[in-house]
Structure 1
């Protein structure tokens, strides 16, 4: 069981790095398709596991991109972990609410500290790209989750019940 969990999380983290190579044009920084594997992990493996994939996936994708925002990527990784965790906790009860909160949180709330760390111009410049990226990542996750959920089983599988 633990081997499957670790393998699944490692695979989704690696997919996050691959998604980071698919860039969305942004005025400032880098916006990519690196968060949808974390959203998938949050639903299939639990909110905490998804938060880990979100944080590590962001740090690895930032590393691959040359850390364009420097040490501020650690703050972004924490924000990503929190947003993915909230998505994972809300998804089973209300998919629409989970999706809308993730999009709003990732697009408008998460970059708020950068108004004080950098300036308001950075915030205004990054929000449109983050909004588009958040919508695309969320839609991909919403399409992938039902299709992948049959691959992830916890407990006794039907085959083991017959034995």
Structure 2
């Protein structure tokens, strides 16, 4: 792995940490902008490294809010890794619209499925609307930022 990729991953993890501090309360969940930088990172980094940015961003975001779900945040970090990894793979394969749908459904619904069994069905049904909204907001902001970030990146290459 090149030093440049590690440095770029560190920048995106830092942006995820800052985004994790932006919390919009929403029922039992909150919308944090911690996954938005990982979606942008998927344009520049290999899929596993972009997934790592997402996982680290979630852990940092959870730490800022006091780890309300305790060790379950490690499971969520693994899920974030997988969802952003898939997003990056779809991006590399030119699946422009599918990558956004996969991220929103994966982060907003599929990632909550284990909690149906681990916590309760009520937790699942109560959290999915907020998670879908959070995933949609992160995706929308990333989608708006990507053209500007890629244009700026072209100037430096």
Q: TM-score, normalised by structure 1?
A: 0.87
Deviation at 1:81, TM superposition (A): 0.3
Deviation at 1:109, TM superposition (A): 0.7
Aligned length: 154
Q: Is the 8 A contact 1:111 1:127 kept in 2?
A: yes
| 1:64 aligned residue | 64
Q: Is the 8 A contact 2:20 2:33 kept in 1?
A: yes
Structure 1, unpaired ranges of 5+: 158-163
Deviation at 1:34, TM superposition (A): 0.7
Deviates more, 1:67-76 or 1:140-149: 140-149
Deviation at 1:91, TM superposition (A): 1.7
Structure with max Cα Rg: 1
| 2:37 aligned residue | 37
| 2:22 aligned residue | 22
Deviation at 1:150, TM superposition (A): 4.0
Determine whether 1:125 maps to 2:126.
yes
Deviates more, 1:57-66 or 1:18-27: 18-27
Output the CA distance in 2 between the equivalents of 1:5 and 1:151. Answer: 17
Output the CA distance in 2 between the equivalents of 1:129 and 1:87. Answer: 20
Q: TM-score, normalised by structure 2?
A: 0.91
Matched residue of 2:112: which SS?
coil
Deviation per residue, 1:77-118 (Å, 9 max, x gap): 000000000001112412111001110111111000001111
Determine whether 1:135 maps to 2:133.
no
Output the CA distance in 2 between the equivalents of 1:27 and 1:122. Answer: 11
Structure 2, unpaired ranges of 5+: none
Matched residue of 2:76: which SS?
helix
Matched residue of 2:26: which SS?
coil
| 1:49 aligned residue | 49
| 2:12 aligned residue | 12
Matched residue of 2:43: which SS?
helix
Matched residue of 1:25: which SS?
strand
Output the CA distance in 2 between the equivalents of 1:144 and 1:49. Answer: 20
Output the CA distance in 1 between the equivalents of 2:147 and 2:95. Answer: 14
Matched residue of 1:43: which SS?
coil
